[in-house]
């Protein structure tokens, strides 16, 4: 083997080692980037969950839920006042939006169903006649507030 051939083999071996090392470094970087991406996704889900909790815990919404659970649970739909209907609409709409966000992947169903499950079930059972009434009226739709219904089924 000539000097040139030996040098060529040595250079090719060096290039092969460098190329292999580069591939290993890239592989390690990809793994790190994947872990960072996963951590960012988990962080985003946690943040979305916190925002959803904050959305459900506003004083106005808490008061409306209390109104529904304590007062409307003892009244027939025909006896509801305009304030009763306002509280009912706020609770239904609030839980419907929360469910839509959960279904869209912006919050964990386990967090909401696990912590608000009894309230969701109780409110839905109280408000079911109101929901059905709203669906049947002119301009209503059979799927009106269906996300709240879905959330109820998850509890």
Number of domains making up the chain: 1
**pLDDT above 80 for 140:** no
Residue 97 and residue 150: Cα distance in Å, rounded?
11
Summarize pLDDT for 12-24 with one digit per residue, the tens: 999 999 999 999 9
Single pTM value for the model: 0.72
Residue 129 lies in a domain: yes
Residue 133 lies in a domain: yes
Half-sphere exposure (CA, 13 Å, Cβ side) for 53? Answer: 13
What value, to the nearest 5°, has the Cα angle with vertex 6 and ends 4 and 11?
95
Summarize pLDDT for 39-87 with one digit per residue, the tens: 998 888 888 888 888 888 999 999 999 999 999 999 999 999 999 999 9
User: How many helices and strands, by DSSP H and E, does the chain display?
Assistant: 5, 0
What value, to the nearest 5°, has the Cα angle with vertex 46 and ends 92 and 67?
25
Query: In the predicted model, what is the mean pLDDT of the chain?
Result: 91
- Given this model, what pLDDT does residue 29 score? 96
The residue segments making up the domain with residue 127 are 44-154
């Amino acid at each position: 083997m000539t000097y040139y051939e030996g040098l060529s083999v040595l250079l090719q071996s060096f290039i092969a080692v460098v190329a292999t090392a580069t591939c290993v470094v890239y592989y390690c970087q990809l793994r790190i980037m994947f872990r960072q991406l996963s951590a960012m996704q988990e962080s985003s889900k946690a943040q979305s969950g916190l925002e959803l909790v904050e959305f459900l815990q506003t004083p106005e919404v808490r008061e409306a839920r209390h109104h529904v659970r304590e007062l409307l649970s003892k009244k027939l739909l025909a006896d509801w006042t305009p304030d009763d209907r306002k509280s009912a609409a706020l609770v239904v709409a609030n839980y419907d939006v929360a469910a839509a966000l959960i279904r869209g992947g912006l919050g964990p169903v386990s967090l909401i169903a696990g912590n608000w499950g009894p309230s969701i079930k109780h409110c839905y059972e109280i408000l079911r006649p109101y929901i059905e009434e709203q669906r049947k009226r002119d301009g209503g739709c059979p799927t009106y507030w269906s996300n709240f219904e879905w959330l109820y089924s998850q509890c």
